[in-house]
Structure 1
Amino acid sequence: MSKLSSPRTTLRHAALIGVLAAAGLLLAGCGDQKADGQPQTGPTSATVAGADQLTPCPTVESRPPVANALPDVSLPCLGDGPDIRLSDLRGPLLVNVWAQWCGPCRHEAPYLAALHAKAGDKVKLIGIDYIDTRPDLAVKFAVEQKWDYPHVADRDKQIQQGLKIGGPPLTAFVDAKGAVVYVHRAPFTSQQELDQLVREKLGVTW
């Protein structure tokens, strides 16, 4: 007949099981570590689901600075493509600062999509996803709105001072020389308002 386990032996077994369970939890917590042991960072534009559906950012020629240009900062593409140095951009161009969490941005979104569809190459558009910690939702929003033009991301308010941004939406009108000729610091309330401002500020008709 086998001997019954003593209370002391039972306690030792329980303690051993507890240690093994704790070790299992510790190993499971390493699941979000990279192979080199470094913590994983958040998703980048290259890994965000749907980012490949966005219009790729173009390679922009480096140009000398001009007066009243866009801020001299480089921002990463929200989709595929290289970083874009804003001060290198030339118009006629609209630079729309937006965020997926911004209600007024959602309201004006169809007007920007319609402008791009009918103005074609006569007026270029670039979007800036501003202080947005959810690139996945930003990409989803841009795809849903059929914004078929490039977008970059500014999560650290790099353009805030240069464009005097209180919050999105904001749209800068840039002429052929690269100068910001007008800044609209509110959402567009109608297609007519947006189209008329493009004609007045940039001299573009279609």
Structure 2
Amino acid sequence: MNLPVRAAAGVVLLVALVACGTDQPGAASSSSGQRSIAGADQLVDCPSTPSKPPATKGLPDVSLPCLGSGPDTRLADLRGPLVVNVWAQWCTPCRAEAPYLAQLAKSGKVKMLGIDYDDPRPELAVKFATEHGLAYPHLFDQDKAIKQPLRVAGPPLTAFIDKDGAVAFVHHGVLTSQAQLDQLVKDHLGVTP
């Protein structure tokens, strides 16, 4: 085979390999952030957020995919009053505090966001969120992108974000009562649930 024929065959092979791609069924698509996770349509959609400059002492400038439907969310774009809860379906303390978070969300006094953290089973995370009535958007951080900026030793962790986007307070560990969560919201966000 002469050189031009070999070069043409190589180009055809390369194009065929690239066209096949490497995405696996159900895997995340980096351009759309959409995955097909069983039951994800039962979760609250993640909203689009307008791009903003990162806030001083704000959430990290990382984008995370939506666990349900909706676009990826850039954490640095978020403003409060907002309660961000870091959880995982395998986390026993997360199950204990879930009713308090669900009740706060029902009050409608603050925005809520969940981040499913370091969770190898997103389908079980979706089931966890729906079974516990966590009726607010949830993101998915399988790669632990928020670990260092929020000093996540492990879930649960609850961050309180003020109206300017600054992290007003971070509660490490389990929330032990509705009264405790409501008091943290009042103390750090100035909102009475």
Q: TM-score, normalised by structure 1?
A: 0.79
Counterpart in the other structure of 1:139: 126
Q: Which runs of 4+ in 1 moved over 6 A?
A: none
| Aligned with residue 169 of structure 2, among 160, 182, 194 | 182
C-alpha deviation, 1:40, in angstroms: 3.0
| Aligned with residue 24 of structure 2, among 16, 40, 43 | 40
Write 1 or 2 for the structure with the bigger share of helix: 1
Counterpart in the other structure of 2:137: 150
* CA distance in structure 2 between the aligned counterparts of 1:177 and 1:123, rounded to whole angstroms: 14
CA 1:39–1:92: 2 relative to 1, 3 Å: closer
**What pairs with 1:72-91 in structure 2 (closer than 5 Å)?**
72-91=61-80
* CA distance in structure 2 between the aligned counterparts of 1:101 and 1:64, rounded to whole angstroms: 34
Aligned residue pair count = 170
* CA distance in structure 1 between the aligned counterparts of 2:23 and 2:131, rounded to whole angstroms: 32
**1:112 pairs with 2:101:** yes
Please provide the CA RMSD for this pair: 1.6
Percent of pairs identical after alignment? 62
Any unmatched runs of 5+ in structure 1? 1-34
Amino acid at match of 2:47: P
C-alpha deviation, 1:106, in angstroms: 0.5
C-alpha deviation, 1:149, in angstroms: 0.2
**SS state at 1:189 partner:** coil
C-alpha deviation, 1:138, in angstroms: 0.3
C-alpha deviation, 1:46, in angstroms: 3.0
CA 1:37–1:65: 2 relative to 1, 3 Å: closer
